[in-house]
Amino acid sequence: MAKRLRVGVVFPVGEVDPHLGVDHGSGLVQRQVFESLYRRSDGRAVPDLFARELRVVEGGYEARLREGVCFSDGSPLTAELVCESLRRCPALSSEVECSHEGSTLRLSGELGLAELRDVLSSPVSAIMKAGADGALGTGPFAVVAREGEVLSLGCNPHHAGFKPSIEGVDVIPFHDHLNLAHAIASGDIDFTTMLAPGELPKGSFVRTSYLQTPSTALLWVNVERVLDARVRRAIAHGLDRARLLRLSYPGIAGLNAASVVPRSLGQVPDQLRFDPDEARQLLDEAGGSSPRVLRMCTIWGARPYLPDPVACAEDIAAQLEPLGIEVKVERAAGPLEWKHALAAGDFELALGGWYADEPSQAFFLSAVYGSESVPRVGVDAVMGSNFARFCDPKVDGLLARLRSTGEDVLDELGSHLRREAPVVALHHGAMTAALGSRIRGREFDELSFPVFSCFTLSDL
């Protein structure tokens, strides 16, 4: 059998473009194809496509690109192409200005150096070049074929770094968690991160690796539809988050959430304790100021932060019912329907989560609360998940200060967000990697994503 890694996903991989991808499967592939100016190593950002660290110059920062780096079509990486790529990146286009001279890149803007390094190490700011058949990268793999719904990666012969021991990767969709579980158990695929522990067949000899992730399951309350902050706080106080955690991750400790931000990034406690009496009092005070029949747009499939979205949604509905709030659960059929529903804003509640693109507290908070992270119809963006559609000038100002200077604004920010309550953190997330018998070696990055170039397979 050829040494090709067979990876199972639920839905077909969409756009393989670091600036446009919207689903977990696309993100999985993009991390194998594209590289960023920085990479993460031992908890810090270190130069990757840069030859050395950014240095402070008048009006900004500059650094020279590494020599000998090529895209998968053999064309060289140039400072001009890097600038073009950064300008089309939603995570950077409003934050950073880019210019170049020769192979030297100059960056300026409001971000401090530490935050700039963090965002430049993120997959969403990875460097790409437009090719005839799609985006090209400088990473160890390149897209070589799409046969039906199967996406195939081959080794990039022009990659300047580590050469994979495997010949390529085939990403195979199964459209159903049951079919995916059967495929990994029967040996039809080698690897998946799309299944919850309880979805693996009983008696299966599939190995699993459990990885905590920088992610949080979130319940967004659409502030354009639920106008009264008292009602939003009542929803938060009416939820027993410990019960939801037991439902999602029975017997697993360390994932309870009292903050939108995961522990590894530095928490901002929300102090929204479970208190049904407080919830009823707030609802009484609010009277009829907000609807009591709420549509909940629910993510289509399992995620590291939400292994069983339907069960979680139904339990949220059951917990809010005694408060006189009726929740109608509407599950998205797939990633595109989810994206379109969130952009349209035609819901009162949204159930999903956020997985950090870079290990930065400031950018996690900006992704969830920043005005620039509200999805809009007709606007492509991967930076952010402000599905509460929460636009607050004070919060935007505090987040800008946090990103640019690292100023300690967390107490003021946390106090304001507690009053407004646009988002409820349900619990933090974990990833279960299911490994077939052919896998001999594997490696995961600091955000718990697999690094396929470091996987090894047996000859069987």
The confidence score (pLDDT) of residue 315 equals 98
Report residue 387's pLDDT band, with 50, 70 and 90 as the boundaries. very high
Report the candidate in 14, 32, 31 with the shortest Cα–Cα distance to residue 149: 14
Query: Using CA atoms, how far apart are residues 90 and 207, in angstroms rounded to an integer?
Result: 38
- Cα distances (Å, whole numbers) of residue 290 to 142, 221, 223, 294, 320: 50, 12, 10, 10, 15
* DSSP 8-state assignment for residue 149: T
The confidence score (pLDDT) of residue 389 equals 96
Angle between helices 309-320 and 241-248 (to 10 degrees): 160
| Residue position matching structure tokens 């354009």 | 224
Instruction: Evaluate the CA torsion angle 312, 316, 318, 319 in order and state its sign.
Output: positive
Element (H, E) at 424: strand 423-435
* DSSP 8-state assignment for residue 406: -
Identify the three-state secondary structure at position 261.
Answer: coil
Determine contact, residues 421/221, Cβ cutoff 8 Å.
Answer: yes
* Token pair belonging to 251: 């017997």
Report the candidate in 12, 434, 152 with the shortest Cα–Cα distance to residue 442: 434
pLDDT in tens, 121-179: 888 899 999 988 889 999 999 999 999 999 999 999 999 888 899 999 999 999 988 99
Determine contact, residues 248/430, Cβ cutoff 8 Å.
Answer: no
Query: Using CA atoms, how far apart are residues 135 and 130, in angstroms rounded to an integer?
Result: 5
pTM exceeds 0.85 for this model: no
CATH of the domain spanning 212-430, picked from 3.30.420.40, 3.30.1360.170, 3.10.105.10, 3.40.50.2300 = 3.10.105.10
Residues of the chain with CATH 3.90.76.10: 35-134
- Cα distances (Å, whole numbers) of residue 372 to 15, 227, 439: 22, 20, 42
Question: Which of 20-24, 180-184, 263-267, 440-444 is predicted with the least confidence, judged by mean pLDDT?
Answer: 20-24
Report residue 72's pLDDT band, with 50, 70 and 90 as the boundaries. very high
Helices (H), 238-271: 241-248
* Cβ neighbours around 227 below 10 Å, total: 13
Residues of the chain with CATH 3.10.105.10: 212-430
Burial zone of 356 (CB within 10 Å; 0-12 exposed, 13-18 middle, 19+ buried): buried
Query: What integer is the mean pLDDT of 92-105?
Result: 86
Query: Using CA atoms, how far apart are residues 294 and 235, in angstroms rounded to an integer?
Result: 11
| Residue position matching structure tokens 């021991």 | 165
Query: Using CA atoms, how far apart are residues 135 and 30, in angstroms rounded to an integer?
Result: 10
Number of helical (H) and strand (E) elements in the chain, helices listed first: 12, 20
Query: Using CA atoms, how far apart are residues 49 and 328, in angstroms rounded to an integer?
Result: 48
Report residue 380's pLDDT band, with 50, 70 and 90 as the boundaries. low
Structure-derived torsion over alpha carbons of residues 371, 374, 380, 384, reported in degrees to the nearest 10: 80
| Residue position matching structure tokens 């106008």 | 227
Determine contact, residues 83/105, Cβ cutoff 8 Å.
Answer: yes
Residues of the chain with CATH 3.40.190.10: 4-32+139-206+436-457
Helices (H), 127-218: 177-186
Determine contact, residues 454/443, Cβ cutoff 8 Å.
Answer: yes
Main-chain phi, psi angles of 111, to 5 degrees? -75, 140
Element (H, E) at 425: strand 423-435
Beta strands in 245-325 (DSSP E): 293-298
Query: Using CA atoms, how far apart are residues 201 and 211, in angstroms rounded to an integer?
Result: 20
Element (H, E) at 396: helix 393-405
Report residue 363's pLDDT band, with 50, 70 and 90 as the boundaries. confident
* Token pair belonging to 298: 């629910």
Residue count (the chain): 460
Place domain 35-134 in its CATH homologous superfamily.
Answer: Dipeptide-binding Protein; Domain 1 (3.90.76.10)
Determine contact, residues 111/366, Cβ cutoff 8 Å.
Answer: no
* DSSP 8-state assignment for residue 165: S
Question: Which of 8-12, 201-205, 254-258, 444-448 is predicted with the least confidence, judged by mean pLDDT?
Answer: 201-205
**To the nearest whole number, what is the mean pLDDT of the chain?**
89
The confidence score (pLDDT) of residue 203 equals 62
Instruction: Evaluate the CA torsion angle 24, 29, 33, 39 in order and state its sign.
Output: positive
Q: Which residues, at least 6 apart from 418, have a Cβ–Cβ distance to it below 8 Å?
A: 233, 270, 271, 272
Instruction: Evaluate the CA torsion angle 137, 141, 144, 148 in order and state its sign.
Output: negative
pLDDT in tens, 28-65: 999 999 999 999 887 788 999 999 999 999 989 999 99
Place domain 4-32+139-206+436-457 in its CATH homologous superfamily.
Answer: Periplasmic binding protein-like II (3.40.190.10)
The confidence score (pLDDT) of residue 274 equals 95
CA angle 243, 432, 264 (to 5 degrees): 70
* Token pair belonging to 432: 């279960």
